[in-house]
Structure 1
Amino acid sequence: MAIRDLRPTSAGELFIGGAARRGTVDSRRLPLYAAGEIDVPFVISGQDEVISRDTLWEKHSHPTHELLWNQRGASSAAIGMRVWTITPTVGLWIPAGIPHSGWTPTGTWHRAAQFSIHAVPSISDDPVAVDITPLLGLLLGRLNTDGLTADSRAKTEAIVLDLIAPAQHELFLQIPESSLLAPIVAAVRADPAETTTLATWATRLGVSTRTLTRAFRFETGLGFSQWLATARVQHAVSMLTRGDEIDEVAACVGYHSVSAFSTAFRRIVGMSPGRFRAQ
């Protein structure tokens, strides 16, 4: 069979299910800044917004370090060919100057904080997940309120900087770039319950299972089954964050039992789906 090139051609195509290609999307364009290109007058500056329409943030970069998280809902950020999931408990630290795009569904309470590169060293040279603990969330929220004295702001900022650290678990999906794997990627991301086996895919694509296994390992660092589990869990996180029931989520992402789903979820996220949903 002839396989057309299904590799992503735009920021929107990197996000699960092709949602960013719908006609009701609010597409936002922001500048591409180099790290430190603008000298900002703050140490930490916060913003928040309740998103009223599905929103695609076109590729952009900041002169500051950025921390993204949500007060409510799950969103995504794409950096290169990695798609990260952002929730109320797991944020994403993006060092200054790194281009990224984003996808924020309707109803998400989106939050972000910018950090001056002259006052705050990056916690990592690369984008990295950050645990948004209740204390950290409260302190970041305090910085976004009016009436703080200079002394109170400085003390709050110092505690925030002491608390921010890379998370032990992070949820991102490396999207293969080769045309060989593109049909598999497109099918799984359109429907996480996709059950086509690697052997069947090999037959369809006219290659051996060994070739596909090597390709997945080379492009993503994971075997096919691990990559598939991560794609499913990433979708499950979005469903759990909006309050869907665990058994419904398990079925929607291709698991025949809640226990099998829970095992995969715990291995990737570091906690059970029940605990994650409660948080």
Structure 2
Amino acid sequence: MRRRPAPRSVALGEMSSFEPTAAHPVRLRIRSLPADTHFDPHRHAFAQLAFCASGVLQVMAAQEGADEVTYIVPPSRAVWIEPGARHAVHVLEHAEFRTLYLHASVTPPGWTGCRVLMVSPLLRELIEALDGCRDAARERLLSALVLDEMRRAETQPLGVPLPASGGDKRLRALCEAVLRAPGERANLGAWAADVGASERTMARLFRSELGTGYQQWRQQAVLAHALPMLANGTPVGQVAAATGYASESAFSAMFKAAMGQPPRHFQPRRA
């Protein structure tokens, strides 16, 4: 079996020029990142919105004392990361990475924890317009519109919880294996055998450490795996097969029940 190259860990770089202030409450940082780039776990004192104009990201985030959650971020989605949340980023496909850093004075009230936002075409264009903006009045207007679009954006429960770092290592290994290939096995028993545990033991660990059953957790993993494929234009039938579904119709029914829209809604629109 071919071994994948190790992820390329990169430094965060100088942050002072991107740190938001009361005078400049919204800061934009743009980076072009090759696949397998990895930012080690870190924190910021301010909130941020992680988004990519193209490519796919995996964002892992956790507040102090809370379970870690992993988010798969295609270009149609963004992850809001609250101030102080410990997080790491892994680039799954070459990404044009956009990060908005936000001052406490403009953080939407009541926004705690991390969440996935739907990125509207307007929000996408506003973020691009901030790049290189040197006019203070225009920057204020663009920033106000960015914040308004963020507040109006729909949220989706697309995070996949992972065990805390001090949790059961077998559960952690099983969860990471499913995230890498959710279609490889459909039942918990086969996955449990891989990590040297019984199905009953792993079912109990899912309940005690993640507060959910395996099937409910796996559905979130399937959605996280399927969305980037759909965003890249992969046919629905191929996505269904890659996520372990025997038929396109069964996958589509699950997807629509969870997301409110059929899979084709998340594919690129043809001219």
Q: TM bucket by the smaller chain?
A: 0.7 to 0.9
Question: Residues 181-208 of structure 1: CA distance to partner in whole angstroms, max 9, x if unpaired?
Answer: 3453244234211325335567785646
Q: What does residue range 1-279 of structure 1 map to in structure 2 within 5 Å? A: 22-23=5-6, 25-30=7-12, 42-80=24-62, 81-121=68-108, 124-147=111-134, 149-165=135-151, 167-176=154-163, 177-182=167-172, 184-195=174-185, 197-199=187-189, 207=198, 209=200, 211-278=201-268
Q: Which amino acid aligns with 1:168?
A: T
Paired letter, 1:224 = Y
> Which segment drifts farther, 131-140 or 268-277?
268-277
Q: 1:123 to 1:48 in 2, by over 3 A?
A: farther
Asked if structure 1 preserves the Cα contact closer than 8 Å seen for 2:231 and 2:268, the reply is no
Deviation at 1:84, TM superposition (A): 0.9
The answer to which structure has the higher strand fraction is 2
**Aligned residue in 1 for 2:65:** none
Q: Work out the CA distance in 2 between the residues paired with 1:123 and 1:70.
A: 25
Q: 1:92 to 1:183 in 2, by over 3 A?
A: closer
Asked if the contact 1:51–1:105 (Cα under 8 Å) also holds between the matched residues in 2, the reply is: no
The one-letter code matched in structure 1 to 2:71 is W
TM value normalised by structure 1:
0.78
State the SS of the aligned residue for 2:267: helix
Is residue 45–residue 144 contact of structure 1 (8 Å, CA) maintained in 2?
Answer: no
Contact 1:70 1:88 in 2 (8 A): yes
- Alpha-carbon offset, residue 180 of structure 1: 4.5
**Structure 2 partner of 1:5:** none
Matched-pair identity in %: 26
- After superposition, the C-alpha distances for 1:11-67 in whole angstroms (9 at most, x for unaligned) are xxxxxxxx9x733x3211338x9xxx9857521111222323421111112232111
Counterpart Cα distance in 2 of 1:104 and 1:122: 30
Amino acid aligned to 2:77:
V
Structure 2 residue runs of 5 or longer lacking an equivalent are 63-67
1:110 deviates by 1.4
Shift of 1:175: 1.6
Letter in 1 for 2:29: Q
Deviates more, 1:173-182 or 1:65-74: 173-182
